[in-house]
Structure 1
Amino acid sequence: MSRAVAIMFIAMSLIPAGDSAGKLLSSGLGLSPLFVAWSRFALGALILLPFLPDGSGALLRNWRIWLRAGTLAMGITCIQTALKTVDVATVFAAFFVGPLVSYILAVIFLREAVTLLRSTLTVLGFVGVLLVVRPGPEAELGVFWAVAAGVFYGTFLTMSRWLSGLGSPMALTFTQLVIAGTLTLPVGLWHLPAFTLPIAGLTLASATCSMLGNLLLLDAYRIAPATRLAPLVYFQLIAAVALGFLIFGDLPDGFTWAGLALIIGAGLTSTRLR
């Protein structure tokens, strides 16, 4: 389990890094969130292409693979739309309904073991998120998009556990990227920008960080149950707070540190339960 925790920590740091690059593209440079989402899928698939194991293409004939990739495409499109108008902290607050959704779905559909203590710890992790961001009513539409992203992402996490035996993490990551890129190709090309060096660099950074984060996430879900990994998704908030300070100048206050302590404590405690 300790290996899964380490993998999740790295993965949950890379994914917010990709989202921060996407926010710089949409809110800072004025690019469409639809292009940001599509470029993330397309470039990620191209980066993985030379490293694919034999037989990876056969997964594309499985309808469940398409359903999972469609869920991911919707989730990332929603969160990029939210990030265009809402600050990173508030977006992640609403987005973190995802672990709760994943936990509930894993119990209902995957019949994974559940205990009152682990359920309580998962809820406490979400309470910690609310302490960090304390979302207000001033950006209701953006928060709605972030909540939708969280629901899609929580569903995607559970489906990743469900389908983890169909192929290697690299093959599954490639299929989700190439399918999502195909589904979003028309809107991506419609919003294609005039490329500059900053746009090209941030686009590549967004795609690479997201791809590596999701690749490691699948590896973790291959070796550990979804109900035990769900609280660790809150680790994304550590990277989000750090990146918010380094890039956007947001300095954490007392509530933020208290929330982070609660999130990390609940997540780590949950992983130690049998």
Structure 2
Amino acid sequence: MCCINVRDHKLEDSIEFVHQDVDEISEDSESTTLVINERGENLRSASSSSIGRFLYNAYSLSPLIVLSMLGRASGIKFNKGVTFIFKRDSCSLAADICKIIAIDKMAGNSRDYFNLTKSAFIYSSKQMKEYNERLIREASEENIKKYTVKEAFNFSFPLIIPSNISSDDREGRSIISQLFYLDEWIVLETKRNYGESYEKIYHLNNYCFCKSYNPNISIYPYAFVFNRFCSNIGSYVFHPGLSSITGTLNATSIVATTEVVPTEVVPTDKDDVTFFIALVTFIFFTVSILSFLGRRCCRRY
């Protein structure tokens, strides 16, 4: 088990991109990179020689500015690089929510976490919309279709962080972008309240919130640290890696304020067996009752 610093991880190898256009797509057998430079700043993309070198500084660039994913998605199977980024960004979001909860407690401040989460969704939607609008203005028709992103999951409170990438999310672009911008808003809000060095001031930089149980592939919240700083995090966010803290999510406690996407509930094999047994039992008793009534009628006549 190793500690992953999702924000300050240093690249071993990097390629500098300066003043790139939306249409500039770099493709080879191992990677696909979309590069957009909105402010003329240097942007980094990790070398595809190693998945372990694929990390980038999440707060110096956006996944929509430099969206680099190893390989391509096929059906519901996603490349390890895509899964790595998804796990990293989902853990980063949970970690930064935990940090603002912890700092609020230490500072003796109260906060409306419902509005915090809602504001993060509004910010994320705005950023993704602006990105899509720029694609329409500057990209080719092929790249517009390929790189357009949309909201991968709806607002809810507590916030439910998906455990997997949807099969219809091309290479995980939508959910990774949404997670990044949600997290970015939480960090910006924390800095507005507690300054740029809030982690150092409140000694949070001494603790590892995200750990890798399978290096460079899977990243999960470190339950011990979460339990220490935000044992009540289940009231605000549900992450599949924090089930030991949050327990089973009570669906009746969820407040959703955006359009809800219908979810098909597929019964498990156990449910199928139970249903089959119940059906057979019902038919058996029905036939027995009808047979009994039939014999009584025959005796009368």
Structures share a fold, TM > 0.5?
Answer: no
Structure 2 length normalisation: TM-score?
Answer: 0.27
- Determine which structure has greater relative contact order: mean sequence separation of CA pairs < 8 Å that are 6+ residues apart, divided by chain length: 1
Output the TM-score relative to the length of structure 1: 0.29
- Whichever structure has more strand as a proportion of its residues is 2
Bigger share in helix = 1
